[in-house]
Structure 1
Amino acid sequence: MDVIQVPRIDGALLFMPTPHVDERGFFSRTFDRDVVARAGLDPDAFVQDSISRSVRGVVRGMHVRSGAGEAKLVRCSYGAVFDVVVDLRPHSPTYRNTEFFDLTGDNQVTVYVPAGCAHGFQALTDPSDVSYRIDRAHDPSEDVSIRFDDTDLGIPWPLPVTLMSERDKAAATLAMATARLS
C-alpha cells in the first residue's frame, strides 16, 4: 500500500492499495496498522467505523465538526463517488483549499481527512457505499453543515443533485459555518 500526500490539503493523505484481481473478482487490504503508523497517524485513534449507502446523484455534505474536530479515513467500498475535502483550519497553510477525488469500489483508495476539514461526496453510481473510520465518538452538538452549492466553495458537482438530507438542505453558508467554527 502506497501513501501519497495531498498537496492542496495540509496533512491529508491518500492510501493507495494494490487490489489483487483474478477471475473471481478482487481482494484488497483497506487498512494496515503498520502503514498508517508509518504515515504518522495513530492507528489506535480510530474509534468508530460507519458505512453509508447512497443512490446516484445524492450529495452528503459538506460536513465538519466544531470543537476538536474529527479526523477520518474515507473509502468508497462499492460503486463510485466524487469526493470533496475543504481545509477550514484557519492556521493551516492550505486554508480554504479544496481537493477532489474519484473514489471507487474498484480502486479502494482511502482518503485521510484531517480534523478541521469539511468533507462531502456525490454518489456517481446506484448504489454507492462509503466506509468511514472516525477518530472521535459522534456528538451531534458539534455537527456543522455547509451548503453544498455555496458559491465561495465553487464545487463542480458532476451530476444534478437528486436527494439530500433535511440537515444538508438547511445547511449554513461557508461564511456562517466558519464563524461557528472559530
Structure 2
Amino acid sequence: MHVETAELSDVLLFRPSPHRDERGFFTRTFDAEVAAAYGLDPAAFVQDSQSRSGGGTLRGLHGRGGAGEAKLVRCARGAILDVIVDARPGSPTFGQHQAFRLDDEDFCMLYVPRGLLHGFQVLSEVADICYRIDRPHDPTEDLSVRYDDPDLGIAWPMPVDTLSPRDRSAGSWRELTSSHVSG
C-alpha cells in the first residue's frame, strides 16, 4: 500500500495495490501498520458506516462541530468525486478545497482529518461509499454548507439533481466561518 500526501494539510490518500487475475481481484483496504506509520491511531476508528446513492446524487458538504470527526472514506462500488474543504482556523490551507476520484477500480481510501467538510457526487450509475469514523455520530454536532456556495467555487462534474432536504437548505460558507469556525 502506497500513501500520498494531499494538497490540503494533513490529508492522506491510501493507494492499495490490488492483485488481479482471471478470478477477479484481491486488495487490502486498510492496514493498521501503514496507518500508524503515518501518525494515525488505527484503534481510534470506532464506527463503520456505508451509504448507497444513485448516479448524479450529491451528498454534502458535511462536517462536525465540537471536537470534529476524522474519517477514512472509500468507494466500494462505482465511482465518486469526493471533495473536502478545510474549515480549520489557522490551517495553512483554510478555505481551500480538493477533489479526489474514488472508485472500485483503484480502491483508494481518503483520510479526512477533523475540521474538514466532506461531500461527494456519484459519477457511476450507483455507488457504495464506506466510512470509518473516529467518533460515534452525534446529530447535534452536524454542520452543513451548500455544495454550490460561490465563496468555495467547487466545480462539480455533473448537474446536481438529487439532494437531501438537509443539503438543499444548508447554510453558506460565510455563515459557517462566522458562527462555528471562528466563534
Tell me which amino acid in the other structure corresponds to 1:63.
H
Two-structure CA RMSD over aligned residues (Å): 0.8
1:161 aligns with 2:133: no
TM-score, normalised by the number of residues in structure 1: 0.97
Deviations 1:99-124 (A, max 9, x none): 11011111100000010000000000
Contact 1:56–1:162 (Cα < 8 Å) also in 2: no
- How much does 1:97 deviate? 1.4
Tell me which amino acid in the other structure corresponds to 1:163.
T
Query: What are structure 1's unaligned runs of at least 5 residues?
Result: none
Query: What are structure 2's unaligned runs of at least 5 residues?
Result: none
TM-score, normalised by the number of residues in structure 2: 0.97
SS for the counterpart of 1:151 is coil
Contact 2:73–2:131 (Cα < 8 Å) also in 1: yes
- Equivalent pairs, count: 181
Deviations 1:128-177 (A, max 9, x none): 11100000011101000100000111111001112111110110001112
Contact 2:96–2:152 (Cα < 8 Å) also in 1: no
Alpha-carbon distance in structure 2 between the residues aligned to 1:153 and 1:71:
21
Contact 1:58–1:162 (Cα < 8 Å) also in 2: yes
1:109 aligns with 2:93: no
Partner of 1:78: 77
Runs ≥4 in structure 1, deviation > 4 angstroms?
Answer: none
- Report sequence identity in percent: 54
